[in-house]
Each structure stands twice: as C-alpha cells, then as structure tokens.
Amino acid sequence: MTADVAVELSDLLERLHVVALPMRVRFRGITTREVALIDGPAGWGEFGAFVEYEPPEAAHWLAAGLEAAYGARPDVRRDRIPINATVPAVAAAEVAGVLERFPGARTAKVKVAEPGQSLADDVARVNAVRALVPTVRVDANGGWDVDDAVAAAHALTVDGPLEYLEQPCRTVPELAEVRRRIEVPVAADESIRKADDPLHVVRCGAADIAVLKVAPLGGVRAMLAIAGQIDIPIVVSSALDSAVGIGAGLVAAGCLPDLPYACGLGTGGLFVEDVAEPVAPVDGHLPVTTVTPDPARLEALAAPPERRQWWIERIRACRPLLS
C-alpha cells in the first residue's frame, strides 16, 4: 500500500489526536471505539485500525489517514449519498429505537450470526426491521459455514426478501458455494478488504456485490482504483469510523460513476458522542462535506495518555510498511 505522501514522523505525531468514542450498543464486541486523528495541512485524516489488527493489516488504515491529512481530495460527481440504517445484533424489541437514529432511511443492514445468538434471534430481528424499513440486507461477518449460511438464507427469506447477504462465510470458495445454492445475492466484504488480492473474490465469481471500505483498502484513491477494476455493483461502507472517516467514505462514494445501492455510511448513529456535530440524514441521504472536528469534543473525548502512547507506538510499527 502507499500513502502517496512523504510525512515526517515528528510532524505526524505533533498533529495526532487519540480519542475514545463511547458507543450506544456493543458492536463488533466493543463498547468504546478508539481512533487516532491527524490534523493535516490538507484536512483531517483518521487511523482507526481495530486494536487486534497486526501492523501489516493496520498499515493500510494508516495510509488512508495520511492520504486524507496530507493529500488532495479528488473531485466528486454527487453531493449527497444514500445510506442504510445499521442495526447491531440487538433484541427484536430494541430495533425501533435503533432505527430512529436513521431518519428517512429506506434500507437497513442487519447484523446476524452473532456468537451466542441463534438463527431464531436473527429471524426475529430481521422481521422487526422489515416491519419498519422496506429494504433489508444482512451481514454475517463470515460467521457461518456453507450449510448454515444456506439454511439461514432460507429462514431469513420466509417472511420477505433480502436485498443481499453480506459475507456469509469466511473463504472465497465457501462464498462461491453459497452463491450457487441460494437465490439471495451474495456480497463480499472481508474477502475483499482482508485479502492479499482484493479482486480475487470477483474473479472467482463468488460475489454479486462488492462492499468496499476506504480505510482497510488504503485510502480513497486506492479504493477507487479497485472499484475501477470490478464489474459488479459496489457499496461503500464504514469501518466503524468516526465522523472524519465517514467523511472520507462519503467522498469515495461521491466519486463513483454509479451508485445503485445505499451505502453503509450511517454508522455515526452508533456513537453516543463523536468528534464533530452529528449530521442527521435527510430523506435517507448524507451530504458530501468536509469534516472538521470540534476542539471541545476532541478534548472531552481524548483517550488517556497511556492509550495515546499505544497508538504512537502503533504508528511507529506501521509506518515502515508504507511504500
């Protein structure tokens, strides 16, 4: 990967803000989201690789943050982006409260295959969403094997259609097998952003839709380069980003020539507090705008000194991996 900019480490660290964002509900097993923000000469960048990621994977996220902070923003084709509501693996009774944070959204992505939960829990959650939102997609984050994914696809479509089933299994051969056995379109996420070759899943005919995320792919330009080589529809999604990272995702979505599906860029509603004043969707759309964190929010949400140092050491480990 490459950040396409030469940045002195001392300059980068002087511009660094590490924040801890409290979440409304547990998501990806966490209740606080830590990210490092860079107040760069070209704008704000975000380095938010999840804490369990090792430097070779996390370095892509650093490249994305450096690009946003030090590089030029590409020209966009549209100034607002349709978004989906994001429903974590909550109880069905909690669905209405979650959806209230996504006014006007006509599409919802529902998390399924959560460890410790059953398929019946997933069906109940999806049906609760269906009662309130017309278009539903689900995301299993690779949580099933092939037979379980096929069974889940059938169970989840008894009471209505699914727009697509995202990353039902972990491997590309498994995705291809599931795609052969079900009628629901299959979307690939982890099989793109965690792969040595992000185009492999498409070349293998293992997905109908590609879910692309700016940070794990190394930045807006890197994501757009991959998008230009994919001949299936694209959904731009968030990697549980702060408002700064969401801004980069909106720019990327704004650059695409076609945007047939709502994007997964409404995850700011999952935070109790964010580094910028939340922008509520209007008619299910978010504007493509420059995001500048509020200094008071940066101070209030600042991570403890030991966590700031942890992120500094992480940057030191990742930076040599940028080419």
Contacts of 150 (CB under 8 A, 6+ apart): 178, 181, 182
| Residue 313 assigned as binding residue | no
For the chain, the distance separating the N- and C-terminal CA atoms, rounded to the nearest angstrom, is: 6
109 is catalytic: no
| Residue 166 assigned as binding residue | yes
| Residue 283 assigned as binding residue | no
**Other beta carbons less than 10 A from residue 254's beta carbon:** 21
3-state secondary structure labels for all residues of the chain: CCCCCCCCHHHHHHCEEEEEEEEEEEECCEEEEEEEEEEECCEEEEECCCCCCCHHHHHHHHHHHHHHHHCCCCCCCCCEEEECEEECCCCHHHHHHHHCCCCCCCEEEEECCCCCCCHHHHHHHHHHHHCCCCEEEEECCCCCCHHHHHHHHHHHCCCCCCCCEECCCCCHHHHHHHHHHCCCCEEECHHHHCCCCCCHHHHCCCCCEEEEECHHHCCHHHHHHHHCCCCCCEEEECCCCCHHHHHHHHHHHHHCCCCCCCEECCHHHHECCCCCCCCCCECCEEECCCCCCCHHHHHHCECCHHHHHHHHHHHHHHHHHCC
Of the residues 213, 221, 285, 314, only one is catalytic, namely 213
Of the residues 60, 101, 111, 179, only one is catalytic, namely 111
194 is catalytic: no
Identify which of 29, 63, 35, 28 has the alpha carbon closest to the alpha carbon of residue 49: 35
Between helices 55-70 and 243-255, what is the axis angle to 10°?
A: 80
Query: Which residue numbers are catalytic?
Result: 111, 213
Bind-site residues? 139, 166, 189
Give binding residues for Mg(2+) as ranges.
139, 166, 189
